[in-house]
Amino acid sequence: MTQSEPRHRQVGWIKRATGELLIIFVGVTAAFIVEGYRQELAQRAEVRQATEGILTELRRYQIRGVEHADSLSVRLERWRAANSVGQQAVPGYYRIPGGSHPPTAAWDAAISSGVASLFDPELRLALGYFYTDFLGIHDSYVRRLIFIEREILPRVEQGAEVFYQGDGRVRPEFLVEMSLLDEFGQDLRASSRQAAFLEEWLRIGQRPSGTP
């Protein structure tokens, strides 16, 4: 055995070890890249799913908000028409069919899952403000609903005259209630416009021109 043989063996062993380490490094790096790509795809799918859910909610708000506002206006106008000719009538009122608050499951899920944090910061702020304000409007509606169920509905069968004072004018509390219901209808219309604005923003990915 020559003196160079051990050295050749050592060099060969180092080369093999280096090659094996390189293979391991490449494999681990590739695994990280694949896993990162997989997570990115999953994240994109979550954002897409959350976006579609919120878009559906916003479209519903646009349609239902105007429908409720129109129905409320019809009832209030019916009372105003009768009152304008001196005819006593049951004060105008309106009860939203079903629950008192709109469904917000898509937005709630986006918040709880953290997906909402992936939205554009300005859009996320606008959506958060909208949902908070929209629910606040319906909190106010609940107070109107309580008054309707306690003060108006029990008296409807007694006749329109029970809602009027001795001088023929409608009692102040019912006049105030109708004024607040009218305000609720205006808020619903404004929210419908805001929902349409946010829907377009979320759909096209940039803030639309103009204001809602």
Instruction: Let me know if residue 156 belongs to a domain.
Output: yes
Which is more confident, 165 or 34?
165
Helix (H, G, I), strand (E, B) or coil at 170: strand
Helix 172-204 × helix 121-147 angle, to 10°:
160
In a domain, 143, yes or no: yes
210 within a domain of the structure (yes/no): no
pLDDT for res 205: 86
For residue range 41-82, list pLDDT tens digits in order.
455 777 788 899 999 999 999 999 999 999 999 999 999 999
Q: What secondary structure, in 3-state letters, does 16-63 show?
A: HHHHHHHHHHHHHHHHHHHHHHHHHHHHHHHHHHHHHHHHHHHHHHHH
Domain ranges, residue 30: 4-204
Nearest to 188 by CA among 64, 82, 79: 64
CA 141 from chain centre, in angstroms, equals: 18
User: Per-residue pLDDT for 120 more than 60?
Assistant: yes
| pLDDT of 208 | 87
Tell me whether residue 212 is in a domain: no
Half-sphere exposure of 207 (CA within 13 A, CB side): 12
Question: Would 211 be classed as within a structural domain?
Answer: no
Domain membership of residue 198 (yes or no) is yes
Query: Could you tell me if residue 108 is inside a domain?
Result: yes
Residue 2, pLDDT above cutoff 60: no
Count of domains for the chain: 1
Task: Report CA-CA distances (Å) from 186 to 53, 68, 174, 197.
Answer: 26, 10, 19, 17
Share of the chain above pLDDT 70, in %: 79
* Mean pLDDT confidence for 26-48: 57
Residue 96 lies in a domain: yes
Q: Which pLDDT band holds residue 37 (cuts at 50, 70, 90)?
A: very low
Instruction: Check whether 112 has a pLDDT greater than 60.
Output: yes
Give pLDDT, residue 68. 97
**Who has greater pLDDT, 3 or 165?**
165
Q: For 122-169, how does the pLDDT look when each residue is reduced to its tens digit (9 = 90+)?
A: 999 999 999 999 999 999 999 999 999 999 999 999 999 999 999 999
